[in-house]
Structure formats: structure tokens, C-alpha cells
Amino acid sequence: MDDFLIRAGLAGVAVALVSGPLGVFVVWRRMAYFGGALSHTALLGVALGFLIGVQPGLGVAFVVIAAALMLGVMNGVKGLALDTLLGIVAHAALALGLIVTAMIEGVRIDLMSYLFGDILAVSATDVWWLWAGALVVLAALIKLWNPLLSLTVHADLAHVEGVPVRRVEIAFMVLLAIVVALAMKVVGIVLVTSMLVIPAAAARAYARTPEAMAMFAALIGIWSVGMGLWASYTYDTPAGPSVVVAAAGFFVVSLFKK
């Protein structure tokens, strides 16, 4: 097997491993659009990363975390629904990202690879970063699991029972931002939400407990990465989109589970 394919597989598995278990919370908390909005801000992070001269991944993580925290604060703005605010922040950030990208002199940024992912081009260093990021997020999620689950079920009840609701919510948003930054490498900005939402949704039909649903979501994500890469290698389809289509296939299959 070719080295680039092994690297792509390793990168994809790292992302699937965290986007599944985090994605179930996105589904339970009805935050799919929130994840999408965060990913739109990522391009601004890429551009700023280039501008300041740091790793694009760091720029993305920084901007997405900032956007997540800002949205958390803006949630309290009276008179406008959260999805309206998300639409404003997401598209303003995307537009700003496109402008900054176009204005950077000397560097030509391959816009397509950020928008649609370039998993076949990940380097060995990228793979290390992805796995390090994935394991940190996974460890944090395991630690947060019970309080996060409790406040997902009922925030006030969790609060009375001693869960530091606000802090756990912020931690969750930060984790979500990191996963967006990680997944961007694999499926690109446009398709990041799919890695969070589709495997988690497909896992619902098979799970009887929250924990099982998270594990199934991770497994379905990993299979999707495998199938997508295989299709890409065999039929020369674009890799990132193939992964997403494979996940959607699993979702359709799950609909027939009674």
C-alpha cells in the first residue's frame, strides 16, 4: 500500500475517533448548525495563521475557539434567535477569511484544499498532530462525560446537583472547536459538520445507552473513512467527499433497522 494512503487512513481514523463521540452531543443538543457555523470561521483562522506566520492548524484552533466563546456569550442577546446569530457570525467570518486570503502577498493559499479537505496530502507531522489532538480531546471528553450528559438532559437539574454548568458548556465548545480544526484537514471546512452529525445520527438506531451510541458513532466514522479512501483509491473520486458519502450510506442503512 502506498505511504500516502496509510497516512490518510491514520489521519481519518484519528478524526473519526473523536468526531463520533463529540458528534453525539451535537445531535442530542441540536447543535448541528452551531458546528457548521464554527467550521465556517475556520478559513479566517487559516488566513490569520498565514498572516502571523504560525501553523494554519493553530490559527484555525484559535479563531474557532474564539468564535465558539463569542457565540456562547451572544446566545444571551435579546431579540434574535441563536440560528440568526450563527448565520451572521459564520458568514461574516467566512467572507472575512476569503478577503484576508486574497490579500495575503507572497503566499498562494490553496483554497480548495481547505474548503474541501486534502486528506491524501497529509504529512507525517500532520498525522502526529491529529492523533495528539484527538487523544487530548477524547481524554477531556471522557472526563466531562457524566456532567455533560447530565446537563444535556436538564441543565437546571444538573446545576442543582452540583454540575458547574457554565464551565462544562464552555469546555464542550472548546472541544468542539478543536475537533472542527482537526476534521477540517480531512473533509474540509464545508463538510466538517458531516463528520460530527452523520456517524452520530447513524449510530442512534443501534444504541440503547448514550455510551453505546458514542462508540458506534466512532466505529461508523472509522468505517466511513475506510470506505471513502478505498473508493477514492479505486475509482479516483475526491477523498473527503467520498468519506462523507460513505457515512451517509451508513445512515441510510440505519434507517432500515427496526
Partner 1 sequence: MPTPTQHKSQNREQDVLLEAKDIRVSFGGHTVLSGVSVGVRAGEIVTLIGPNGAGKTSLVKVMLGLLVPQSGTVNRKPDLSIGYMPQRLQIDASLPMTVRRFLQLGTQPGQGKTLKALEEVHADHIANSPMQSISGGEMQRVMLARALLREPDLLVLDEPVQGVDITGQAELYKLINAIRKDRNIGVLMVSHDLHVVMAQTDHVVCLNQHVCCAGHPQAVSRHPEFVALFGEDVASTLAVYAHQHDHHHDLDGHVVGDGCSDDCQHDDDHKKGHDHG
Which residues of this protein are in contact with partner 1, per CB under 8 A? Answer: 27-30, 146, 149-150, 152-154, 156-161, 201, 204, 207-210, 212-213
**Please, what sign has the CA dihedral across residues 66, 144, 58, 248?**
negative
CA distances from 92 to 37, 86, 96, 128, 231 (A): 10, 10, 6, 32, 35
For partner 1, which is the closer residue by CB, 117 or 210?
Answer: 210
- Residue closer to partner 1 by CB (options 150, 242) is 150
Q: How many CA atoms lie within 13 A of 215 on its CB side?
A: 7
> Could you tell me the smallest distance in angstroms from the CB atom of residue 222 to partner 1?
20
Cβ 28 to partner 1, closest distance in Å? Answer: 4
Tell me how long the chain is. 258
The string over 129-144, giving b where at least 16 C-beta atoms fall within 10 Å of a residue's C-beta and e elsewhere, is: bbbebbeebbebbeeb
C-beta closer to partner 1: residue 210 or 238: 210
Q: Whole-number minimum distance, CB 196 to partner 1, in Å?
A: 13
Shortest distance (Å) from residue 27 CB to partner 1: 5
The distance of closest approach from Cβ of residue 211 to partner 1 in the complex, given in angstroms and rounded to an integer, is: 9
Least distance in angstroms from the C-beta of 19 to partner 1: 16
Would you say 87 or 159 has its CB closer to partner 1? 159
Question: How far apart are the C-alpha atoms of 163 and 157, rounded to whole Å?
Answer: 9
Report the C-alpha gap between 65 and 74 in whole angstroms. Answer: 14
Cβ distance to partner 1 smaller for residue 156 or 236: 156
Other Cβ atoms closer than 10 A to 214: 23
**110-124 burial by CB neighbour count: b if 16+ within 10 A, else e?**
ebebbbbbbbbebee
Instruction: Tell the smallest beta-carbon distance from residue 158 to partner 1 (Å).
Output: 8
Closest CB to partner 1 among residues 32, 222: 32
CA dist 227 to 21, 86, 141, 245, 246, Å? 20, 33, 27, 9, 6
Question: How far is the CA of 192 from the CAs of 36, 149, 180, 255, in angstroms?
Answer: 7, 23, 6, 22
Nearer to partner 1, 146 or 237 (CB): 146
